[in-house]
Amino acid sequence: MLNTPPEFVAAVDLGSNSFHMIVCSLKNNQLQTIDRLKEMVRLASGLNADQMLDEKTQLHALACLERFGQRIRNFPVGSVRIVGTNTLRMAKNAGQFLIKAELALGHPIHVISGIEEARLIYLGVAHSLSSTANLRLVMDIGGGSTEYIIGTNDTPLEKESLHMGCVSLSNSFFKDGVLSKAAFNQATLFAEQKLEPFQNTFKRKNWDEAIGASGSLRSIAKVLQANNWSNNGITKQGLELLVAHLSQYNHINDLNLLGLDAERLPVFVGGLAIVYATFKSLNIEQMTISDGALREGLIQDLLGRLYNHDMRAETVQAVTKRYRIDKKHAKRIKKTIHIMLSQLSTSYAWASDETCVQFLNWAADLHEIGIDIAHSQYHKHSAYIIGNADLAGFSQQDQLILASLIRSHRRKLSKTIFNELPLPWNVKAPYLTLILRLAVVMHRNRTKQELPNFEIQLINSKISLKFPDNWLANSPLTHADLILEADYIKTAGFKLEFS
């Protein structure tokens, strides 16, 4: 993290259809967009039947990222947010691609869940519009997923991400660009079926204004306006005229549509089917188009982190409240963690790294949430919740890191659990886990009594604790717990000594 706000910030959205980048200047707390880059990569088209991203698509994507990287590679750590969406959520070989993509960009990439994508999209729209509507419906069509959000001001209230997008529907129902009325009806019905379980949540009676926030929606609005089928964004009547016009053609290359960009053509009809189905299912009459979307939301989320308003911290506090965590106990553990880190910081950079400290604090806050499910093996329940819940602000990598720390905070320690973590966390996490484990062990009695001053040393895989004379002799339970802990961690190649 940065001690002072950077002069420039950037956000990159690795979407399933397009890659987007926005660069902003940050002066006197004022944000100004100074650069935008966009390339149609169509990542979703590179997914084969086995959910593997093919080599050709990867090379195309990496060439784009090399160009993006030239613009942001020298930005300081913490000033750039890069996220991957639906295709990178699905691709089984996404991890291999992300290593190369991070090298091209010079910054870490985080894959986010559909629900987190929806939250960020709403945030981007909310900061891009001067809408006075009390409740907004926001819709965003990506290459592989479509998000629906109802919110007020900058707060999303309902969020959903459905597995359908302009690329995936175009590939499934309009292969090789072939058009037919039957195929369009099938694509529309498919989208309606996806929406069906959420129809009542997002229907017209639950919001005041509908807003579209994606390239597909902007493209449709542009076509409607250019052909005089609408003069106010997207309208239901305009969509009916556009759909009727499409029924005259047998191939997308034959479309004679004013306002339709050539690069949008291959995925236009798939996106239109989703919009048409949405208007029908949710009783929408008119939709305004917003310039703000996921990358603008990423910038706003990044500013929150820079100015001590990290959404992840708010989420952690909400989870501790939901699972009735003993906050005083967690506070004692965090205090002991900080005592250990302050002593180790002279030898290990991770001990003073703000992000490492942040994750250890969150792990201390959340490590006991599984007790609300069952006391036996509660660390496994805690880790499962953290690894699989929709946690606002957290990427999938964030949750994996946090879940790994929590899963390993007690009982036998195995380093294999950290193998799935991205660099450099696969190296740092075992040491962070040791710190968490020792803090938990030393507070196992859960008393208010302060620990005595103690010394800690870590040399390679050997960790030493030194307490005041006779303290361990007068604290037989802690002594016994440390003996047991030494046995637990030796399976991971660590040696614990104490006196």
pLDDT digits (tens, 9 = 90+) for 260-286: 999 999 999 999 999 999 999 999 999
Confidence of residue 131 (pLDDT cuts 50, 70, 90): low
Contact 411, 485 (CB under 8 A): no
Q: What integer pLDDT is reported at residue 382 of this predicted model?
A: 98
Q: What integer pLDDT is reported at residue 380 of this predicted model?
A: 97
End-to-end CA distance of the chain: 37
Query: Residue 197, preceding bond cis, omega within 30 degrees?
Result: no
Contact 122, 156 (CB under 8 A): yes
Confidence of residue 4 (pLDDT cuts 50, 70, 90): confident
pTM (2 decimals)?
A: 0.95
Share of the chain above pLDDT 70, in %: 99
Name the nearest CA neighbour of 158 among 209, 202, 112.
202
Position 1 pLDDT exceeds 60: no
Instruction: Report the pLDDT averaged over residues 455-470.
Output: 97
Position 441 pLDDT exceeds 80: yes
Share of the chain above pLDDT 90, in %: 95
Name the nearest CA neighbour of 422 among 445, 442, 396.
396
Position 28 pLDDT exceeds 90: no
Confidence of residue 29 (pLDDT cuts 50, 70, 90): confident
pLDDT digits (tens, 9 = 90+) for 43-100: 999 999 999 999 999 999 999 999 999 999 999 999 999 999 999 999 999 999 999 9
Confidence of residue 208 (pLDDT cuts 50, 70, 90): very high
Domains located in the chain, CATH noted: 8-112+296-304 (3.30.420.40), 129-290 (3.30.420.150), 310-449 (1.10.3210.10)
Name the nearest CA neighbour of 139 among 75, 207, 40.
207
3-state secondary structure the chain: CCCCCCCEEEEEEECCCEEEEEEEEEECCEEEEEEEEEEECCHHHHECCCCCECHHHHHHHHHHHHHHHHHHCCCCCCCEEEEECHHHHHCCCHHHHHHHHHHHHCCCCEECCHHHHHHHHHHHHHCCCCCCCCCEEEEEECCCCEEEEEEECCEEEEEEEECCCHHHHHHHHCHHHECCHHHHHHHHHHHHHHHHHHHHHHCHHHCCEEEECCHHHHHHHHHHHHCCCCCCCEEHHHHHHHHHHHCCCCEHHHCCCCCCCHHHHHHHHHHHHHHHHHHHHHCCCEEEECCCCHHHHHHHHHHHHHCCCCHHHHHHHHHHHHCCCCHHHHHHHHHHHHHHHHHHCCCCHHHCCHHHHHHHHHHHHHCCHHHHCCCCCHHHHHHHHHHHCCCCCCCHHHHHHHHHHHHCCCCCCCHHHHCCCCCCHHHHHHHHHHHHHHHHHHCCCCCCCCCCCCEEEEECCEEEEECCCCCCCCCHHHHHHHHHHHHHHHHHCCEEEEC
Confidence of residue 2 (pLDDT cuts 50, 70, 90): low
